[in-house]
């Protein structure tokens, strides 16, 4: 167990090489890939997320930790796939049509992967139909949408409406985020959740999946 704690600690410090090396050592010592993922990598990333939430650390620290997380994931992921270990959940994410600002969306993707999710990242300038089609194609229960421009925020409502029209709104939940957005705006357009930042987005997505019993 000690090595899993050390993986988490090194991940918190953003030491990618150490995390990669120790992940290999943990697996060689007989720990199951899922246990290394949950109790080493995800445990470390959870601490990072909490420190970010309380402003103890900032975005660059989180991104260094994310790189360390990926260094461990690169080792563990092939084994998880081989053992067909289910992912924590699936999410389709993208920056809405008319908007190219994708740093926030990228951060959500990084944090989601860090939490063990499979992420279908549609990139930026994504049309409403593409969000919905991707959720259907991949069986994703969550669509995450990002916008920076106030003029592109209405596109989010189009996605919510399109899901309703197709009778998918119970099966596919929506979360929105971006600098000009608010929880009020999310409620107004009928989105299921609002993510203030990358960390809270992951928490909200986990809650959506838990309450709906979908993954």
Partner 1 sequence: MREVVHIPAGEVRCAPADVLALQGVPRGARLDGRIAAMLSEGISLYESLAAPAGVLEEVDGGEFAEIYAGAGKNEPRTPLALIHPRAERLCLFAVTVGGAVSRRISELFQEQEFALGAMLDAAASQGAELAAAYLEACYGRRDAESGAPAGKRAFLRYSPGYCGWHVSGQKRLFARLRPEEIGITLRESCLMEPLKSISGVIAGGPAGIHDFENEFPFCAECKGKECRARIRRALANER
Closest CA to 115 of 1, 208, 17, 205: 205
CB of 167 to partner 1, least distance (A): 28
When binding is defined by CB under 8 A, the residue of 78, 86, 139, 180 that contacts partner 1 is: 180
Sequence-distant contacts of 164-168: CB under 8 A, at least 24 apart: 164/190, 166/132, 168/132, 168/135, 168/136
- Nearest 5°: CA angle at 158, between 132 and 91? 35
Q: How far is the CB of 214 from partner 1 (least distance, A)?
A: 29
User: Using the rule CB under 8 A, is 66 a contact of partner 1?
Assistant: yes
Check binding of 205 to partner 1 (CB under 8 A). no
Closest separation in Å from C-beta 172 to partner 1:
23
Query: Cβ-count burial of 79 within 10 angstroms (0-12 exposed, 13-18 middle, 19+ buried)?
Result: middle
Residue 61, exposed/middle/buried by CB under 10 A (0-12, 13-18, 19+)?
Answer: middle
Residue selected from 32, 43, 47, 63 as contacting partner 1 according to rule CB under 8 A? 63
Pick out residues in 110-149 that bind partner 1 (CB under 8 A): 110, 125, 149
Q: Kindly list the residues in this chain that would bind partner 1 in the complex (CB under 8 A).
A: 14, 58-61, 63-64, 66-67, 70-71, 97-100, 103, 106, 110, 125, 149-153, 179-182, 185
């Amino acid at each position: 167990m000690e090595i899993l704690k050390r993986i988490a600690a090194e991940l918190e410090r953003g030491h990618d090489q150490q995390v990669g090396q120790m992940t290999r050592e943990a697996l060689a010592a007989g720990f199951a890939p899922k246990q290394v993922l949950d109790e080493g990598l995800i445990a470390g990333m959870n601490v990072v997320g909490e420190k970010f939430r309380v402003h103890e650390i900032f975005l660059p620290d989180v991104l260094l930790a994310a790189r360390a997380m990926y260094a461990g994931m690169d080792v563990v992921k092939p084994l998880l796939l081989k053992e067909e270990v289910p992912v924590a959940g699936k999410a389709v994410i993208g920056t809405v049509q008319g908007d190219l600002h994708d740093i926030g969306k990228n951060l959500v993707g990084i944090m989601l992967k860090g939490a063990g999710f499979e992420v279908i990242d549609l990139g930026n300038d994504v049309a409403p139909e593409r969000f919905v089609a991707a959720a259907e194609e991949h069986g994703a229960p969550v669509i995450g949408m990002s916008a920076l421009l106030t003029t592109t925020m209405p596109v989010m409502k189009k996605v919510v409406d399109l899901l309703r029209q197709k009778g998918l709104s119970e099966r596919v939940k929506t979360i929105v985020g971006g600098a000009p957005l608010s929880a009020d705006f999310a409620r107004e357009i009928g989105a299921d959740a609002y993510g203030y930042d990358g960390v809270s987005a992951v928490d909200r997505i986990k809650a959506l999946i838990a309450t709906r019993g979908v993954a």
